Amino acid sequence: MTSVALMLASSVRLNAQSAGTRGVSATINRVYEYCPAPGQFLNTMPEYEEGDTRETICKKAEDLLREGGTVSLGAFGGYVVFGFDHMVENRPGLYDLQILGNSYLADGGDARQGGSSEPALVYVSHDDNANGLPDDKWYELAGSEYGKTGTWRNYTVTYHITPQEHMPTPVPNSPVTDDTYIRWTDGEGREGYLAMNAYHRQNYWPLWLKGEETLTFTGVRLAPNTVDKNGDGSYFVQNTYAWGYADNQPNDSTSSKLDLQWAVDEDGNPANLPGIHFVKVQTAVLQSNGWIGESSTEVAGAVDLHLVGGAAPSMDEDIRVLTFEDEDFKGEESDYWSSLVDDEQYGGKLLYGEGGTGVYSESEAYRWYDEGNTFLSSTLNNSWGSWAYWNGGIAVSDYVDSNLDNVPYTDQLAIFRKGVEAGRGRGGHGATDRFAVINGVDNTFASGGTDTRAVLTFGDGQARTIDHAYVAPTTYFLSNIVNGSSFCTAATEETFVDLLAEGFDAQGQKTGTATLRLVDGLRHVQGWTWFDLSVLGKVSSVKFNFSVSDDQKGSYGVNTPTYVAIDDIAVRMDATGTGIQTLPSASVGSGGEKMYDLTGRLLRSARKGQIVIIGGRKVVY
What's the rounded mean pLDDT across residues 353-360?
93
pLDDT computed for residue 281 by the predictor: 98
Average pLDDT rounded to a whole number, residues 514-519: 90
- DSSP secondary structure letters along 130-166: -SSSS-S--EEE--TTTT-TT-EEEEEEEEEPPPTTP
Average pLDDT over residues 20-35: 78
Mean pLDDT computed over every residue of the chain: 84
Return the beta strands (E) in 393-526 as ranges: 393-397, 399-401, 414-416, 423-424, 435-439, 454-458, 464-473, 496-504, 510-520, 523-524
Q: What is the pLDDT of residue 590?
A: 32
Cite the beta strand spans of 250-366 per DSSP E: 257-258, 263-264, 275-283, 298-299, 301-304, 317-322
Write down the pLDDT at residue 608: 45
Span 206-227, average pLDDT: 93
Asked whether residue 234 carries a pLDDT value surpassing 80, the answer given is: no
pLDDT tens digits for range 120-177: 999 999 999 999 999 999 999 998 888 888 899 999 999 999 999 999 999 998 899 9
Asked whether residue 11 carries a pLDDT value surpassing 70, the answer given is no
What's the predicted TM-score (pTM) here? 0.52
The CA-atom distances, in angstroms, between 616 and each of 181, 593, 599, 604 are: 52, 10, 13, 16
Percentage, residues of the chain above pLDDT 70: 85
Of 205, 175, 202, the residue nearest 293 (C-alpha): 175
Q: What is the mean pLDDT of residues 84-102?
A: 87
| Three-state DSSP state, 114 | strand
Question: What's the pLDDT score for residue 15?
Answer: 35
Give me Rg for the CA atoms of the chain: 25
DSSP lists the bridge partners of residue 395 as 437
Distance of CA 444 to the CA centre of its chain: 35
Model confidence band, residue 254 (pLDDT cutoffs 50, 70, 90) = confident
pLDDT band at 104 (very low <50, low <70, confident <90, very high): confident
pLDDT score recorded for residue 342: 96
Spatial distance between the Cα atoms of 612 and 592, rounded to a whole number of angstroms: 14
* Tens of pLDDT, residues 403-429: 888 899 999 999 988 777 888 988 898
What confidence category does residue 572 fall into, taking pLDDT thresholds of 50, 70 and 90? confident
pLDDT at 68: 81
Q: Bigger pLDDT: 107 or 513? A: 513
Q: What is the pLDDT of residue 23?
A: 47
The one-letter amino acid at 420: V
- CA 109, 110, 115, 120 torsion-angle sign: negative
* 8 A C-beta contact, residue 498 and residue 562: no
Arithmetic mean of pLDDT, 167-189: 93
- Going along the chain from its start, the domains and CATH numbers come out as 3-308 (no CATH), 318-574 (2.60.120.1350), 583-620 (no CATH)
User: With 60 as the cut, is the pLDDT of residue 279 above it?
Assistant: yes
